[in-house]
C-alpha cells in the first residue's frame, strides 16, 4: 500500500507544478501533508515530522549553500573563475571543455561533499559556457556526474563510510575497489550522456550567471586564482584525512576537522578572498550578498523536499519496502542494490537509503555470502538511482540552472540512473574478478 501512496504523491506533485503552475515549495508542502495523512500519521506527529524535516535539511545545507553562493560570486566577480576557465580551455581546447570540467569535478568531488562541490563548481560551468558558447546543461551534467559518483561510491564521503562500518568493510579497500567501479559511471554519465542533452534550454537566475568578461590584464594571476578556488577543497580533504587517519590524541586533529567542515572551509575561503581583493572588497561583498538572494528560493524548495523525505521515513515507508524485498531470492549484491534503489525512490536521500538498505541486507554479508566492500559499493550505486522530486539534489540542479520539471527529469534524473546502473554492472564484474 505504501508504494501506491508514494506513486500517487509523486503524480500529484507533478500535476500541481506542471499543470497547476503552483510554486514548488507550496506544492511540496501540500504533497508532504497528503503523504502523511494517507499513511495514517496522527496529525501532531505529522506536523512534528514536517518541522523536523525542514529543520534538519536546512541545518545541514544553510551554511554550505549560502556561503557557497557567496564564494562563487566572489570568484566570478573578481575574475578568478574567468582566469581558471580560460586556462582550462586553453589547456584542453574548446572541444574538450566537457572533459576538463569532468576531470576537475572528479578531483574536487573526492574531497568535497556533493552540495559543497556543486556550489563551488557551478560558477565554473557558467564561465565555461559563456566563454565557449557550449550549452549550459551539456556542461552542467559533466560537472554534476563525477560529484554524484564520488558522493555515492567513494570514501571519505559519509554515506560509503557509514555503510562500510555497518558491514565491517575495510574503508581503504572499499576506496581501491570503488575507483574502478566509479570510472565507467563517470565516463558514461559525464562524458557520453551530455551529448544527448545539448538541446535542453537553461534559464538560470541572473544573480548566479557570469558577469561581463574582464580584460585579461585585469584578471588575477593563475596561481592566486587556483589557490583560492581550491582552498575549501584542500581544507575539506585535510579534515577528512585527519578524521580517518589521525589518532584522537594527536595535536591539531580537532582543528583540522573543524576547518575541514564544509561550512567552515567555505567561510575561511570567503574571508581570505575578500582579504586578497581588499582594495575593492566592499563592491565584491555587496555583489556576493545580493547573490545570496537567489539562494533563498533554492533553500525553500530544498527544505520542503526534506520535509517530504522525513514524512516518508517517519510514516514507515522504509520498513514496508524493506519487508517486501526481504523474502526475495536475488543474489546478495543485486538484492542490496535493489533495496537501496527502492528506498532511494521512496525517501530521496542517498545517505538514508544507503544506511537503511545496509541494515536490511547486513545478515547476507555477516553470513559470508557477499564481500562487505563490494556490498558497500552495490548499495552506494543503488542509493543514487532515479533521483526525483523528493531528493534535494534534484531541486538544486533544477533551480540553479533554471530548468523545467520535464527537462530536469530528462537531464538530472536520467544521469543519476545511468550512474546507478553502470555502478551495479561494475560491481558485478568486480565480484567475478576479485
| 3-state secondary structure labels for all residues of the chain | CHHHHHHHHHHHHHHHHHHCCCCHHHHHHHHHHHHHHHCCCCHHHHHHHHHHHHHHHHHHHHHHHHHHHHHHHHHHHCCHHHHHHHHHHHHHCHHHHHHHHHHHHHHHHHHCCHHHHHHHHHHHHHHHHHHHCCCHHHHHHHHHHHHHHHHHHCCCCHHHHHHHHHHCCCHHHHHHHHHHHHHHHHHHHHHHHHHHCCCCCCCCCHHHCCCCCCCHHHCCCHHHHHHHHHHHHHHHHHHHHHHHHCCCCCCCHHHHHHHHCHHHHHHHHHHHHHHHCHHHHHHHHHHHHHHHHHHHHHHHHHHHHHHHHHHHHHCCHHHHHHHHHHCCCCCHHHHHHHHHHHHHHHHCCHHHHHHHHHHHHHHHHHCCCCCHHHHHHHHHHHCCCCCCCCCHHHHHHHHHHCCCHHHHHHHHHHHHHHHHHHHHHHHHHHHHHC
Task: Give the model's pLDDT for residue 23.
Answer: 77
Phi-psi region of 113 (alpha: psi -120 to 50; beta: other; left: phi over 0): beta
User: What would the grid cell of residue 3 be?
Assistant: 508504494
Residues 6+ apart with CB under 8 A from 48: none
**Interval 168-197 mean pLDDT:** 90
Q: Which residues contact 20 (CB under 8 A, 6 or more apart)?
A: 27
HSE-CB at 390 with a 13 A cutoff on CA atoms is 31
Query: Does the pLDDT value for residue 145 go beyond 90?
Result: yes
Q: Among candidates 117, 182, 157, which has minimal Cα distance to 419?
A: 182
Q: Chain centroid to CA 69: how far?
A: 15
pLDDT, tens digit (0-9, with 9 covering 90-100), for 93-137: 888 899 999 988 887 777 566 777 787 788 888 888 888 889 999
What pLDDT, on a 0 to 100 scale, did the predictor assign at position 113? 66
d(CA 293, CA 66): 9
* pLDDT of res. 319: 60
pLDDT of residue 362: 74
pLDDT exceeds cutoff 90 at 68: no
Q: What is the mean pLDDT of residues 5-11?
A: 77
- In terms of pLDDT, which residue wins out, 211 or 205? 205
Which residue has better confidence, 352 or 222?
A: 222
- Angle between helix 136-153 and helix 372-382 axes, rounded to 10 deg: 150
pLDDT score for 18? 66
Task: Share the mean pLDDT of the chain.
Answer: 82
| pLDDT at residue number 359 | 67
Residue whose entry in the numeric block shows the C-alpha cell 523525505: 309
Q: What is the pLDDT of residues 379-422, one digit of tens each?
A: 999 999 998 887 888 988 998 899 999 999 999 999 999 999 99
The Cα–Cα gap between 413 and 378 comes to: 19
Is-contact 277 251, C-beta < 8 A?
A: no
C-alpha cell at 227: 589557490
Report pLDDT digits (tens) over 344-392.
887 677 776 777 677 667 767 776 778 899 999 999 999 999 988 878 8
CA 67 to chain centre: 16
Rounded CA gap, 356 and 191, in Å?
31
Residue 426's pLDDT band (boundaries 50, 70, 90)? very high
What pLDDT score does 89 carry?
Answer: 79
Which residues contact residue 152 at a Cβ distance below 8 angstroms, ignoring those fewer than 6 apart?
A: 159, 160, 350, 354, 380, 381, 383, 384, 419, 423
Averaged pLDDT for residues 255-279: 88
Share of the chain above pLDDT 70, in %: 89
Residue 318 has pLDDT above 60, yes or no: no
Domain ranges of the chain: 2-433
Q: Which residue has the higher pLDDT, 412 or 234?
A: 412
Cα distance between residue 1 and residue 5, in whole Å:
6
Amino acid at each position: 500500500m505504501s508504494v501506491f501512496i508514494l506513486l500517487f504523491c509523486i503524480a500529484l506533485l507533478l500535476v500541481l507544478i506542471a499543470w497547476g503552475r503552483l510554486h514548488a515549495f507550496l506544492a511540496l508542502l501540500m504533497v508532504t501533508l497528503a503523504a502523511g495523512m494517507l499513511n495514517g500519521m496522527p496529525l501532531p506527529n505529522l506536523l512534528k515530522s514536517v518541522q523536523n524535516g525542514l529543520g534538519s535539511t536546512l541545518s545541514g545545507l544553510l551554511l554550505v549553500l549560502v556561503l557557497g553562493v557567496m564564494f562563487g560570486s566572489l570568484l566570478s566577480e573578481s575574475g578568478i573563475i574567468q582566469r581558471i576557465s580560460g586556462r582550462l580551455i586553453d589547456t584542453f581546447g574548446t572541444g574538450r571543455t566537457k572533459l576538463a570540467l569532468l576531470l576537475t569535478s572528479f578531483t574536487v568531488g573526492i574531497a568535497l561533499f556533493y552540495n559543497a562541490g556543486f556550489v563551488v563548481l557551478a560558477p565554473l560551468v557558467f564561465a565555461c559556457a559563456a566563454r565557449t558558447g557550449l550549452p549550459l546543461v551539456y556542461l552542467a551534467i559533466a560537472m554534476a556526474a563525477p560529484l554524484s559518483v564520488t558522493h555515492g561510491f567513494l570514501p571519505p564521503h559519509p554515506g560509503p563510510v557509514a555503510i562500510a562500518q555497518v558491514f565491517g568493510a575495510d574503508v581503504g579497500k572499499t576506496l581501491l575497489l570503488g575507483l574502478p567501479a566509479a570510472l565507467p559511471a563517470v565516463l558514461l554519465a559525464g562524458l557520453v550522456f551530455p551529448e544527448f542533452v545539448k538541446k535542453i534550454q537553461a534559464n538560470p537566475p541572473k544573480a548566479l550567471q557570469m558577469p561581463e568578461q574582464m580584460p585579461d590584464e585585469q584578471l588575477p594571476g593563475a596561481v592566486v586564482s587556483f589557490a583560492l578556488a581550491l582552498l575549501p577543497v584542500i581544507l575539506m580533504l585535510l579534515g577528512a584525512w585527519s578524521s580517518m587517519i589521525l589518532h584522537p590524541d594527536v595535536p591539531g586533529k580537532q582543528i583540522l576537522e573543524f576547518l575541514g567542515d564544509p561550512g567552515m572551509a567555505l567561510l575561511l575561503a570567503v574571508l581570505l578572498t575578500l582579504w586578497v581583493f581588499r582594495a575593492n572588497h566592499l563592491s565584491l561583498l555587496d555583489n556576493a550578498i545580493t547573490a545570496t538572494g537567489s539562494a533563498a528560493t533554492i533553500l525553500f524548495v530544498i527544505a520542503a523536499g526534506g520535509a517530504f523525505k522525513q514524512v516518508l521515513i517517519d510514516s514507515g515507508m522504509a520498513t514496508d519496502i524493506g519487508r517486501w524485498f526481504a523474502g526475495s531470492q536475488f543474489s546478495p549484491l543485486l538484492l542490496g542494490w535493489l533495496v537501496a534503489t527502492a528506498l532511494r525512490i521512496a525517501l530521496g536521500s542517498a545517505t538514508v537509503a544507503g544506511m537503511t538498505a545496509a541494515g536490511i541486507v547486513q545478515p547476507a554479508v555477516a553470513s559470508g555470502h557477499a564481500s562487505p566492500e563490494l556490498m558497500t559499493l552495490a548499495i552506494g550505486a543503488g542509493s543514487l538511482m532515479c533521483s526525483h522530486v523528493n531528493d534535494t539534489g534534484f531541486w538544486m540542479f533544477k533551480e540553479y540552472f533554471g530548468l523545467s520539471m520535464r527537462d530536469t527529469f530528462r537531464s538530472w534524473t536520467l544521469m543519476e540512473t545511468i550512474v546507478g546502473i553502470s555502478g551495479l554492472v561494475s560491481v558485478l564484474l568486480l565480484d567475478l574478478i576479485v
